Each structure stands twice: as C-alpha cells, then as structure tokens.
Amino acid sequence: MLDYFLTREQKIIVEVARQIGEDYIKPYAHEWDEKEEFDWRPIRAMAKADLFGIFIPKEYGGLGFGTFENCLAVETLSKYCAGVTTTFAASGLGAYPILIAGNKEQKAKYLPEIAAGRKLCAFALTEPQAGSDAASIKTTAQKDGDYYILNGIKQWITNGGIADIYIVIALTDPKKGARGASAFIVHKNDPGFAIGQKEKKMGLRASVTTELFFSNCRLPKDRLLGREGMGFIIAMRTLDLSRPGVGAQAVGLGQGALEMALHHTRRRIQFGQPVFNFQAVSHTLAEMAAKLEAARALVYSVARYIDSGAKSISGPSAMAKYLASETTMWITERAVQMMGGFGYMREFLVEKMMRDAKCLQIYEGTNEIQKNVIARELAKLDQEG
C-alpha cells in the first residue's frame, strides 16, 4: 500500500525478481515442496538476471548496490517461494565473509564468480554441539607449514553439496575458544572434505541442507580469511549484514500469504456472502496488512541504515530479523485459519508458507538469540545502570 520511493534502479531489481518469481518459480513451487526437490533452473535464471551480484562491488563484476537492494530482491522472490530464496540468500551469506575480510587476491578470485552466479556459496558455522552457543564449536584447523588441516563436522548447512565455495569457521587455537576461531575458504573438491546426506525439513524444502565433514582436509594457507583468531568476528559481522535479509524473506513470504488469504476470502461464499464480509475475517486481514507493513518499514529502515555506513548495526539488524519473522509466522498461521479447510490442504500453498515461516524464526540465529543481541545493545544505551 505504501510507496517507499524506490529509485529507478531499485524498481528494476524488483521487477526482474518479480519476473523470475512469475516465470521460473510460481509454476513449480508446489512440486518442489511436495517432492522436497532442489532445482537449478530458477538459480540459473537468477544468475543470468545478475541477481547474485547485487551487493558485490562493480570492480568485481557485481552491480555495486547494498543491503537494501538485496533485501528488495529477497523480499520479491520470497513471495513466490521462500525455499528457493533460501538458496539465493544463503549464497549471499557465504559471500559476505569474503567481502568483509578477503584480501585483494581472494576478492579478485572469488567475487566475480559469485557475482555472475557461476559459483554458489555456503556459510558453515553451526555444529552438532554448537547451535545458539556458536562459540563452543569444535572443528579445528591445525597449522602445518604452508597448510591448515581441518577436522570436524558442520551441521544444517544450507547449500551443502550445491555450493562450490564454503566459508568454514574453525579453531586455529582451541585453547582460546571463540577468540581462537578463524575463517577459511573451502572448495567443494578439496581433499578430505565430504558432504553429508540431505536433511529432511518441515519447510524450505526447495533448498538443500546438509552436514559437512572435514577429515584431514588440507587447505593451502591462502584460504585463511583475514587473520587467525578473527573467525568469530567475521562470522558475527556476516550475520549482522545478512539478518535484514531474513527479515526481507519474512516480509515477502508474509505478503504472499496475505494476498492468498485476501484472494480466497473475497471469493469464498458462506452464509450467502464472501467470508471477507465478516469482520472476524476482514479485521484479521487488516491486522495482517498493518503488521506486515510495519515489519517491512523496519526491514527497509535497517537495511538503509546499514548502507549508510553505520557501525553499530547488530541491534537494528537483529530487530529486523526478529520482528519480521515473528510477524510472518503469525500472518501465515492466520492465513491458514482464514482459509479454513482450503488453508490446511497441501494443494494450496498457504500451509507451505506457514511451514516455511517457521524456519525464519530459527535460522541465522534463533529469535531468542536475536533478543539477546537486542538486549545487549539496550544495556549499552544505559551505561550508568
């Protein structure tokens, strides 16, 4: 309903993402979800459309835009299928560490391939024993002359097996805990690196999630990102930059659910009239629309704030992810309810949207962790206390 005064360039990004949604995602989203199937076709289309280069600098073959433009693309694509968008967004998540901490050679080597969509990325922090407690990772990277030798397991890694480039956080100095963590670039075909089986998920079923195994995986030392010991800082900075993207994913998904519920309730006749005429329904849709617009406004503001070059972005970024995903979980649940039996049937996509929404409250830091981040930033504001 609102006009956010997008520039010509931003409108082009939205329009191209919309076309990809209509032509390459919408007709197949149901089937991918049912069959739990990853399809390269929409990913190749996004690559040809230059979407993978949105926030990659022009000097590396990207479009040179920022977080906001990336959020616009993610939001638009998510309206059609949050699963496919997860593949896209997770590749961006894996590209951030190279942008943040890569040296000139690393940027020149990897970013053009990423921008062109020729290579997908994955970001590997989580381990079987280290989810929300990310600092307790066990994967090690032992220095051996000009090499590092990686050993350990990463879990629930989006794009496992389909990505060519993996950013892996591992301990170079296990005694120091999180301060002894470093970030590495791992190639899909590196010896000692193996992909686990595909996980079965509640939602986001068009995306691929796997374990990663490192068994004496030998990496040349130029695969280290930044310096030893910077791994955790790089990881946290990456998440700060990417979390508004999860918020944008939630906004797009919520928009899809709202539109579906609106379309249905305006046409479904009960008691001689469209069910939308009953205030129990129309007021619910009004609440959905108002809350969604508020979430969108927050996500956009945070993304623009990040692009302004702001330094303290952790709190706002966590707010965008937290609030938008909570809102969309509620919206999708209400959308199912407003559509009744139709909402509950797998034939209609709204129940898929509800399953997809659940993950947005969990991945890239659970919403409980987001609240920790927000609370920590709040405490800083009240120094005397």
Residue 53 CB, shortest distance to other proteins, in Å, is: 8
Residue 56 CA to its chain's centroid (Å): 16
Pick the piece of the chain touching other proteins (CB under 8 A) from 16-24, 75-83, 212-220, 276-284.
16-24
Draw the binding track, 54-93, toward other proteins (x: CB under 8 A; -: no contact).
Answer: x--------x------------------------------
41 binds other proteins (CB under 8 A): yes
Q: Evaluate whether 318 touches 312 at the Cβ level (below 8 Å).
A: no
Pick the piece of the chain touching other proteins (CB under 8 A) from 43-51, 101-109, 319-327, 333-341.
43-51
DSSP 87-156: HHHHHHHHHHHHHHH--HHHHHHHHHHHHTTSS-EEEE--BTTBSS-GGG---EEEEETTEEEEEEEEEE
Q: What is the distance between the alpha carbons of residues 54 and 62, in angstroms, rounded to a whole number?
A: 6
Q: What is the distance between the alpha carbons of residues 257 and 343, in angstroms, rounded to a whole number?
A: 10
Catalytic residue among 364, 368, 377, 384: 364
Residues of this chain, 312-341, that bind other proteins according to CB under 8 A:
none
Residue 364 is among the residues annotated as catalytic for this protein: yes
13 binds other proteins (CB under 8 A): yes
51 binds other proteins (CB under 8 A): yes
Determine which helix (DSSP H) or strand (DSSP E) holds 232, and give its type and residue range. Answer: helix 231-267
Q: 43 vs 24, 49, 67, 72, 270, CA distance in Å?
A: 9, 10, 20, 17, 42
Q: Which is nearer to other proteins, 23 or 31 (CB)?
A: 23
48 binds other proteins (CB under 8 A): yes
Determine which helix (DSSP H) or strand (DSSP E) holds 219, and give its type and residue range. Answer: strand 209-220
Residue 307 CB, shortest distance to other proteins, in Å, is: 18
20 binds other proteins (CB under 8 A): yes
Residue of 6, 45, 130, 236 interacting with other proteins (CB under 8 A) = 45
Q: Evaluate whether 171 touches 100 at the Cβ level (below 8 Å).
A: no
Chain positions contacting other proteins, by CB under 8 A: 9, 12-13, 16, 19-20, 23-24, 41, 45-46, 48-51, 53-54, 63
| Residues noted as catalytic | 364
